[in-house]
Amino acid sequence: MMVKMSDGIGKIVEGYNSVISALENNRVTELITLEKNLESKKVKNLLDIANQKNIKIVNVKTKNDWKYNSSEYVAAVCIPKKIYKETDLNNFKSTNFIVCDHIQDTNNLGAIARSAASFEFNVMCIPERRSARLSERTFKIASGGLEKIQVLEYKSIYSLIKKFKLLNVWTIGLDMKGKDKIENFDLGNQNLAFFIGSEEKGLSHGLMDKLDNVLIISMSDDIESLNVSVAAAIAMQHIFIKN
């Protein structure tokens, strides 16, 4: 089921890591469990937390009555997570950003969100149009990561760049056409926004011309490119360990 971004995201989350993160984030209004898993240590842990927070618990008797992902045994109904707009950018000027330029694969968005949470890139920016949407699948792949970061939706990537520069946030592209190696990049105490392009086309030349720098990841000549979510994770980890 896809979620309307204007109404917030993450109304339904599935899987232990996603559910426990939503519980910790105080978003859960109803916990749903599959009866045959009630003795599981993980399920007992979720039930204990839900009871402490006075959250409604629904036990589903059989798999045939389970309305959620067939591979999962826990799910939660949640207060939707807020989506921020470009006009809210000032609220986050003291952090690092990951900007997704028309990523098409939901799994990639989820993996990028998980890495962003791991490496303290606390805001993920995605376009309003021509991009994969954030769905229950994204929350599952993010494995709790989307609970720990904020999501900002932008209309124009060029206006977003202008706003970043007004906030003195460095705009850095990540692309195989970059000239400087990321391991040689000196950030100092500067906040930055990493821009990553679509799976097929990467960043456009027009966009790269507007950025402060475009970096490349060193890798074997035998491989043409990295998966976009893997490349984003490597780049964010480089920045994390240098700070």
For the segment(s) 83-242, the CATH number from 3.40.1800.10, 3.40.1280.10, 3.90.226.10, 1.10.10.10 is 3.40.1280.10
Whole-angstrom Cα Rg for the chain: 19
Give the model's pLDDT for residue 7: 63
Are 19 and 142 contacting, i.e. CB atoms less than 8 angstroms apart? no
Sheet holding 123-127, edge to edge: 83-85, 150-154, 123-127, 97-100, 192-196, 170-174, 213-216, 180-181
* Cα–Cα distance for residue pair 69/18, rounded to 1 Å: 13
The domains spanning 5-78 and 83-242 adopt the same CATH topology: no
| Entry pTM | 0.87
**Angle (CA) 214 215 219, round 5°:** 150
β-bridge partners, 181 = 216
Q: Where exactly are the structural domains of the chain?
A: 5-78, 83-242
Give the model's pLDDT for residue 3: 41
Q: Mean pLDDT by 10-residue block, N- to C-terminus, for the chain (243 residues)?
A: 59 93 95 89 93 95 89 93 93 93 90 95 91 84 93 94 95 86 82 89 88 87 80 91 76
Give the model's pLDDT for residue 56: 97
Sheet holding 12-14, edge to edge: 12-14, 74-78, 28-34, 56-60
Give the model's pLDDT for residue 137: 87
Q: Which of 183, 167, 157, 168 is nearest to 99 (CA)?
A: 157
The helix-helix angle for 228-242 and 106-118 (nearest 10°) equals 10
CATH level 3 topology of 5-78: 60s Ribosomal Protein L30; Chain: A; (3.30.1330)
Give the model's pLDDT for residue 4: 47
Q: How many residues does the chain have?
A: 243
Count Cβ atoms below 10 Å from residue 203 Cβ, excluding itself.
22
Are 194 and 121 contacting, i.e. CB atoms less than 8 angstroms apart? yes
Give the model's pLDDT for residue 167: 94
